[in-house]
Structure 1
Amino acid sequence: MTPQHPRFARAYARAVPAINLRGGTEHRRTLLAGLRGRVIEVGAGEGSSFGLYPATVESVLAVEPDDYLRELAGAKAQAAPVPVTVVPGTAENIPADDGGADAVVVSLVLCSVAD
C-alpha cells in the first residue's frame, strides 16, 4: 500500500499553476534538459513535468504514491511528447528493475522519502 495524503494532494494540485508561473516550469525545464533514454520520475505529482521532456527521452516511468495526483498525472501523460507510464509507488519501492533507467528525476519530493 502506498501512502495517501488526500488533503495535501488536493492542495498541491490547486497550487501547482501558481508555482509554475513563479518559476516552477523553468525549474523543471532546466532539470530535464539534456536527458535521454529511459527515465524514472519519482513523485510525479500531477504531471507538470511530462510536457517538458526532450525528444531524446525514450520513455518515462512516473512513480506517484497518491491516487488523486496519479489520476491527474495519467491525464497529462496522454498529451506528453514522449511515452509516459504513470504507476503507483514510492522512492523506497520503485517498480523497476535495477539498471532499468538511464536517469532518475526527483523534484520537490525528497522531504517525503524516509530513507
Structure 2
Amino acid sequence: MADVAGVSPKDMQDYLSLDDDVDTSILKDLIEEAEDGIISDIGLDVNVDKYRSYKQFNQAVKTMVDFNYFNRGNLAELKLAYPPSYLLMINRIRWKIRRDSNEDVS
C-alpha cells in the first residue's frame, strides 16, 4: 500500500513534467475532482485515506488529472470521457477494496 497522503500538486507537476509552482491551484482542483469521481464510482462507504493507501487509486488519480489537464477546453469535443485504462484501474481498486474488507471481517 502507498502513502495515505495521496497525490499532491507537486506529484502532478513531476508526473506531467511541469515547472514548479505552475498551475498549482488547477492541479489541486483536478486532484480533488479525480478523487471524488473515483470514490463515487467505487463506493462512498470507504474512507478516503483507505483509498489513498492503494497505489492503484493514486495512479488512477494521476491518470485522470493528466487526461483532464491536457484536455482542458477540449473536453466537449472528445469522444472518450476518460482514458481507456481508467476503467481497468477502477475495477482493480473496487475488487481490492472488497477483498481487503472481507479479510478484515474474517
* TM-score normalised according to structure 1 size: 0.23
Q: Which has more helix, going by share of residues?
A: 2
Q: Which has the larger radius of gyration?
A: 2
TM-score with structure 2 length normalisation? Answer: 0.24
Higher strand share: 1
